[in-house]
Structure 1
């Protein structure tokens, strides 16, 4: 019997995320939605992390209001809490320049999918300057709702009450139209969620339960299937009811009952004077002192593990020391990159139509073991740049050094590029590792429709100092179409595509595929290697012939037509021809 067959309820609630820069009016809107006559928050009030409140509405409908902090150091963690199937309310304070307004529209598009966005211009201090390109914004971002809302939230119960009521009604209207509202959910799912809420709000104000207790609460609600329990935990995490990390060998044993508490704990450390004064460095003992309240007892190592999991910090080689890259000082203009290395460097540029904040932070944390450390112990890592190295064994022999930095393009006000410069005999090895990790950051960050080009420099004589950059994917596609040359738009001469790619050192997708297949062959998994090749080249006669040969050998052995010795001879021949094919395809 399915959980729905045991009983169901109609889901009648929605998640509303209030976003925008600091002091744009997010908390003011939340307060007024709760009680229009409530006093306005203090001018210096700042949300650290997120405040979450549940707002009962008519006809048993509920709004879960998420009031996010707008400070830039908090932007990176938004990717874990900005979700699809939600309603976004983007507030702008026109009393001061709001340069990050477009940032919010773009990050919602990446993380929120098709979620609707209500734009609210909050008049403050008697100043009101309507957004001039409203039509252009709606044309570019199809999820932005027309019209924009303009009001002074401090006058929501007075002169601007009509505008406030219109905004409140619009929030309710679009929240009710979310796809999940009105759908059937298992009653047991609701029972488990309510049981977790009772534990969180009880006398002890518990912030977490161990997984064994979560399983017990599920069984008390009639859920006995372990897979269903995991599904419920995953759904609670997606909706923001709790947090569970099944992929971490320490955190998988805990279900955090209040995401708000988790974020408050993390930001208490990120904003603490000890971390700021230490330029991003802190010790495990300092973290214990920052998290000194009773609710943190026994959880210090788990909270640090969360910081590591979120790639908000990394562990130094010295025991018990950590670094928050976003709290490091700016590198300024004095990049530690000598002219000699500049001349011989391989270069790759990632160019973003919109670059989410935190990409370089994640890359830095993922590759922290390769950060260059100077003789005095100082690490070559800054807020917007980092130096990675492959050190030669024993200080002698081949090595490599890479500078990775955020960069600006044209007159765009925010960083829109990540530049990778690598020099040294092992630069290809180091470059490929950095590129693989950055590509993985893109894939693992839940970004939908991330528009990014991987650019590689031309290697013709005219491009020796200031090269023209080709789109890497476009060059690979040309090779796949049988083309061997492409025109450099600086010299206007044809250049050899393979020479450009060889000079850069990044393997083509086909070469990477061949390397994966070769690893399978070395593990005596020829059939899997051939299946992998067929997915990439379904019409390649050479692959199809080898697949047919592999099946024939297997079928004849199963039917008893050939013995084990003949099978071994046939498999060795097949393996030899497959490896030759992989060499041939990898050079293409």
Structure 2
């Protein structure tokens, strides 16, 4: 990377650990470009963390040498494609002064259409580096956001922030700077999101703790994260650390900022706090050894997710998200046991087979499965939906006692669910299995449009909709016996049909989920500030996403605030 940004090379330099960030300035066709280069270390320990810094608005260089197997090249291309939504890639073979290995270029081009170039270089001897630089400049110029017209004040604010030469500033300092350039608070937040997206700085404005600080130097943050994951003491301790340890490992960081850096790791689902211990675990550093435990094998509900390619960190993120349900200390890098409402769930990840397996025993197996599916679906959502197959084990008398029953694909079940009677034949026992008994209230597909139209007073073409005397008893638990009036407003940015889906989704949430949503609105009668609406709306949005309501993803946080509040609180 230094050959590109500064025309230098140091053959004694070690491989990148974590992330190294540099700035490259150049002129192309009389236009000045400022490019942020993020150099990601390829060691396995970093893979799960890298995903949070891969951006869609980027060009990727996948640099490899002749000792790298094709499987690793495929691995990284898949990671890039999943996390960046198929951004352009330049495939670069380095160290050709030592050894050259050909790859099947035509095959890679067919399999990965977003590969836009292949290069063979020697950074040490600077062979073909100039050709690579020309290609990089050409591809950067083609990125969708290049050439966007932005307000002059934005550039002036960026220049002033850079001149501060500080690692971070408070949100109030940032707002004051924006006001100097005639930007109000709302416009400042829009600019903050834009700068965050393109890597100028990091600001997680919808997290209660992180919203109060702007990280002007992203490498200051990433270095702190990798400082923990790279510390031998924490690695040897299977990812365990406490608050006192941070004073040692983050000794070069102001102690008052430790809470922000720790919250950043929690926000990225990289660590969680052990209950009542003031200790934390980084699951990616856990042992792969499965602990000893007793498991009841009889009448288990079995479920599995089989991925074509499984991005790093799915299992450890799931553990973080469900740490409050973990039974005692029964968790390891590729597995966990959860316990809730008289049910136990054993969730394991087989790395080689790319399968996540779930076994559930107890009296509320299907409710437990619904919780597990919800979180895996949310993680898949954040990873741009990696391709996978979802299936559930047969419950016939022959299969229920088998370690490996016949597994019904959910897509197949969706077809049979529309038939009368709702039954499907087990290929092993040839017995007919009731779809309702197999999956209970677990919804495979949601096509409640017609039934919703029958319940709601809905007039097409109107700019609002009133819902009267609503009484839904289906699904899990309804939140309202009666809603006198809810008004749809087109300014929320969704259609009537989407509005109906939001209502139906919330009405069928379990009581615990509804109460969690309500808690975001900590004051009901009084007015909220713009900042409060943004913060609450984003929290509600993230909560709804975890329950599987993906259509709110593209809604503004303020719109989510206005949309959901009356649904939750207009209850007699």
2:116 is aligned to: 145
* Pairing 1:73–2:38 present: no
Deviation larger for 263-272 or 467-476 = 467-476
1:320 corresponds, among 275, 278, 301, to: 278
1:164 corresponds, among 124, 129, 137, to: 129
* Pairing 1:296–2:254 present: yes
Please give the per-residue CA displacement for 1:239-295, whole angstroms capped at 9, x wherever unaligned: 1111111222111111111111111001101111221121111001101211111x4
1:198 is aligned to: 163
- The answer as to whether partners of 1:209 and 1:254 remain within 8 angstroms in 2 is yes
Alpha-carbon shift at residue 82 of structure 1 (Å): 0.9
Change (3 A) 1:335 1:438: farther
2:221 is aligned to: 262
1:497 corresponds, among 387, 412, 435, to: 435
Change (3 A) 1:534 1:152: closer
Distance 1:487 1:528 in 2: 46
Alpha-carbon shift at residue 151 of structure 1 (Å): 2.3
- The answer as to whether partners of 2:9 and 2:123 remain within 8 angstroms in 1 is no
Please give the per-residue CA displacement for 1:392-444, whole angstroms capped at 9, x wherever unaligned: xxxxxx72221111124xxxxx452211111122333322222222222222x
1:401 corresponds, among 344, 358, 362, to: 344
Distance 2:37 2:331 in 1: 37
1:329 is aligned to: 287
Pairs within 5 Å for 1:348-387: 348-373=303-328, 379-387=329-337
* Pairing 1:181–2:153 present: no
**Partner-residue secondary structure (3-state), 1:267:** helix
Alpha-carbon shift at residue 103 of structure 1 (Å): 1.8
- The answer as to whether partners of 2:5 and 2:24 remain within 8 angstroms in 1 is no
TM-score (norm 2): 0.76
Alpha-carbon shift at residue 497 of structure 1 (Å): 2.6
- The answer as to whether partners of 2:395 and 2:438 remain within 8 angstroms in 1 is yes
- The answer as to whether partners of 2:57 and 2:198 remain within 8 angstroms in 1 is no
Distance 2:299 2:419 in 1: 31
TM-score (norm 1): 0.74
Please give the per-residue CA displacement for 1:213-262, whole angstroms capped at 9, x wherever unaligned: 00011011221x22111100111111111111122211111111111111
Please give the per-residue CA displacement for 1:354-377, whole angstroms capped at 9, x wherever unaligned: 11111111111111011111xxxx
- The answer as to whether partners of 2:193 and 2:203 remain within 8 angstroms in 1 is yes
Uncovered stretches (5+) of structure 2, i.e. residues with no partner: 453-471, 489-495, 503-572
Alpha-carbon shift at residue 72 of structure 1 (Å): 1.9
**Partner-residue secondary structure (3-state), 1:437:** helix
- After superposition, the CA RMSD in angstroms is 2.9
- The answer as to whether partners of 1:355 and 1:415 remain within 8 angstroms in 2 is no
- The answer as to whether partners of 1:281 and 1:322 remain within 8 angstroms in 2 is yes
2:412 corresponds, among 449, 464, 474, to: 474
1:113 is aligned to: 85
- If you compute each CA radius of gyration, which structure gives the higher value, 1 or 2? 1
Distance 1:269 1:353 in 2: 31
2:461 is aligned to: none
* Pairing 1:506–2:476 present: no
Please give the per-residue CA displacement for 1:278-315, whole angstroms capped at 9, x wherever unaligned: 1111001101211111x434201111111111110001
Distance 1:511 1:178 in 2: 38
2:548 is aligned to: none
Aligned length: 469
1:40 is aligned to: 10
1:97 is aligned to: 69
**Partner-residue secondary structure (3-state), 2:220:** helix
Please give the per-residue CA displacement for 1:26-76, whole angstroms capped at 9, x wherever unaligned: xxxx1111343x233425343323323233244323332111122222222
1:426 is aligned to: 364
